[in-house]
Amino acid sequence: MNFSFVTHAIGRLLQVLGLVMLLSLGIAIIETSPRSIAEAIASPALLGFVIAIALTFFAGTILILRKPSRLVGNGIREGFTIVTFGWIIFAFFSSIPLQIWFNMTDHSPFSLYKLFYHFTNSYFEVMSGFTTTGSTILTDIEALPKSLLFWRSMTHWLGGMGIVTLVLAIFPASGITGYQMFRGEVPGPTAEKLGPNLRQTAKILWGVYALLTLAETILLMFGGMPLFDSVCHAFGTLATGGFSTKNLSIGYYNSAYIDWVITFFMFLAGMNFLLHYQMIFKRNFSLLTKNSEFLFYSKVLGGAIILSTLILWIKGILPADAVGEIFRGYPIPSDQLQTVVSGESSKFDSFFSALRFSSFQVISITTTTGFMTADYDMWPNALRTMLVFLMFVGGCAGSTAGGIKMLRIQVLIKSMIREVRRMVQPKIVQSIKIGKVPVEEKQVANIVGFLLLFIMTYGILVFAMSFFVEDFSTAATAITATLGNIGPGLAGVGPTQSFNWIPLEGKWICTLAMLLGRLELYTVFIAFAPISWKR
């Protein structure tokens, strides 16, 4: 392992982070408009950003000072290590503004526990942002100053397309490691190059991403959403993140127009960005009818939406007493239970209303966004189970979504069918094809291996989590939601709940799950594997 190379690259990452944080600092200045330095220091958000930027630049510059020695070898170890540690360190520096704000607004006496408690919360929140998970530890989101809300959404936006990819777009790709880093970060089993080189590819991806974000922002503003909220929600949607600026998430606006705009853009964000590139820049719309993964994605979503719409429209949500039995971190007071449930129930009275709410939740969950307009924890058990399955599936490869990814699911299903067939006809030779493109056998093995790794990691994390959380569905779906980068789970971490009440140990487990999920396990395992550290 070439350490100087790794530290140098991470230094570059931090410099980029410092630059991006300046944006939030600008918002903090506008928001507080301090008339003197003393006033500025008194504002926790402003102070937080100043300190964070200073520290980030300082650390970045120190790491960059040492010139890297020449890289020998294939650069895989270095690439994957840069990505993994880059993300860990990135999240640390990004959490500084939140830490300062939490500490300064928490007026309880100073203690090391308090420091660690807020560090955990801030780190969880920022990691949730960068990994586009969208799980939050905040119970009152609206209490946060705008600069911090913006920063939360900004972390989504940066993490969605990938911080390393961003750095690659800005700085010339550093040779062989460039591709390895890109590979380590891009979601899905294959990292396709769109342009002649990596820098071009990274630029195209970010270009498409920025364009779609702009489009959504404008469309949301037409629906009457303020500029600030529109930008934040567009960040959250395209990154398939899920952080909102409101406690009630998108439900706050209670507007069919806004719901449909966000539903549409969540759907877009769950698609392979290669398709967007082809459609926007090459005017090649025929891909939509040919791309096998996209068709599968549309069918899965279509099926799930039809099923949930029909069940909810005909059968409705659970009765109040059944809802009351569901475990919650913040139980609904029993005198309000009836009102809350009937309020939820009224969303599914008419067919179109049922369609609107169910498609929003289904797409939000499948694309691993995690916005919500209805409490799906009150839905019939079959639908909740379906949503948990969809959490595992996730969006398409090459999108900003998390989960196992449609492409992998397709390959897994096909390889399953192939095995069954091979039992009956032992001499048959079959390739697994996505569309008409054969998948290499190595790739198939990699994907089957990925599933095993995913299941085992999931099992271990759920087991670890159940030491700290007594309710099973809470423990299990907390890991599902974080490992799949969705955000909300069921029961104690359901759509109306927060992760705040979970013990610190549980929060760290979830933080780890988010990182593993975002970097698709392999990258993190490679970075920590002993083989990577041998000289």
Partner 1 sequence: MNIIIVGGGVVGSTLAQQLEKEQLNHRITLIESGQEKCQKLANKLDILAIHGSGLDPAMLIQAGIDDADMLVAVTPNDETNILCCYLASRFNVPNRVARLKSTNFSHEFFGLKDLGVTDTIEPETDTINQILEYLYVPEQTEVINFRKAGIALRGFKVTLNCALVNHTAAEIAKIMGDPHVLLLVISRNGNTIIPNGESLIQLGDEILLLMPISAINRFHDLFKTSGDKIAKVVINGESPMTISLVKEIEKRAKRTVLISEDEEFCRMCADSLHNTDIFFGDPGQEETLIDAGVNTANFFISVDEDGEENVMTALLAKAEGAEQAIAVTNYEKHLQLFRTLGIDHIIQPTKLSTQQIFSDIAGFSRDAVFRHSKTDMDMSHFYIESGSRIAGSPIHEIRKKAQSQFIIACILRNNEFIMVSGITIIEEHDDIIVFYNSHDLKSISKLFRA
Binding region for partner 1 (CB under 8 A): 425-431, 433, 436, 438
Least distance from partner 1 to the Cβ atom of residue 292, Å: 12
Tell me the β-bridge partners of 439: 432
Yes or no: say if 139 and 500 are a contact pair by the CB < 8 Å rule: yes
The residue (of 109 and 426) whose beta carbon lies closer to partner 1 is 426
Least distance from partner 1 to the Cβ atom of residue 441, Å: 8
Q: How many CA atoms lie within 13 A of 3 on its CB side?
A: 3
Q: Calculate the dihedral angle through the C-alpha atoms of 11, 17, 19, 25, rounding to the nearest 10 degrees.
A: -140
The residue (of 333 and 426) whose beta carbon lies closer to partner 1 is 426
Least distance from partner 1 to the Cβ atom of residue 208, Å: 31
CA distance 461 to 448: 20
The residue (of 226 and 438) whose beta carbon lies closer to partner 1 is 438
Q: CB-based burial of residue 72 (10 Å sphere; 0-12 exposed, 13-18 middle, 19+ buried)? A: exposed
Nearest of 183, 198, 162 to residue 86 by alpha carbon: 162
Least distance from partner 1 to the Cβ atom of residue 426, Å: 7
Least distance from partner 1 to the Cβ atom of residue 421, Å: 9
The residue (of 114 and 414) whose beta carbon lies closer to partner 1 is 414
Torsional sign, CA 361, 365, 369, 374: positive
The residue (of 112 and 424) whose beta carbon lies closer to partner 1 is 424
Least distance from partner 1 to the Cβ atom of residue 436, Å: 6
The residue (of 428 and 531) whose beta carbon lies closer to partner 1 is 428
CA distance 161 to 22: 20
> Residue 413 CB: number of other CB atoms within 10 A?
12
The residue (of 193 and 422) whose beta carbon lies closer to partner 1 is 422
DSSP 379: S
Nearest of 234, 227, 381, 260 to residue 317 by alpha carbon: 381
Tell me the β-bridge partners of 438: 433
Least distance from partner 1 to the Cβ atom of residue 252, Å: 49
